Amino acid sequence: MSHKNYQISIHKRLHHVCTTIYQYRFFIALAFAFILLLGSCKKLAAASGDRGALEELFEENFLNRNFVVHFASDNGQDITSQFSGYTVVLTKTTSFYEGPISASRNGVTYTGTWSSNDDYSKLVISLTNPSTPPEFIFINRAWRFTKKAVPIMELAPWGSSEPKVLHMQRL
Tell me the torsion sign for CA atoms 137, 141, 144, 148. positive
Peptide bond into 134 cis (omega under 30): no
pLDDT in the model for residue 134: 86
- Nearest CA-CA partner of 112 in 90, 96, 82: 90
pLDDT in the model for residue 14: 63
Length of the chain: 171
Query: What CA–CA distances, in Å, run from 157 to 77, 79, 123, 130, 154?
Result: 16, 16, 10, 25, 11
CB 99 within 8 A of CB 75: no
Q: What is the pLDDT of residues 26-69, one digit of tens each?
A: 545 444 444 544 444 444 444 445 778 878 887 887 888 898 99
Q: What is the pLDDT of residues 149-162, one digit of tens each?
A: 778 888 889 988 88
pLDDT in the model for residue 87: 92
9-25 burial: b if 16+ Cβ within 10 Å, else e: eeeeeeeeeeeeeeeee
- Nearest CA-CA partner of 113 in 121, 132, 3, 32: 132
Q: What is the pLDDT of residues 101-147, one digit of tens each?
A: 999 999 999 999 999 888 888 889 999 988 888 888 999 999 998 88
C-alpha–C-alpha distance, residues 31 and 26, integer Å: 9
pLDDT in the model for residue 126: 93
The pTM for the full model equals 0.67
pLDDT in the model for residue 62: 82
DSSP 10-72: HHHHHHHHHHHHHHTHHHHHHHHHHHHHHHTHHHHHHHTT-HHHHHHHHHHHTBT-EEEEEEE
CB 155 within 8 A of CB 146: yes
pLDDT in the model for residue 24: 55
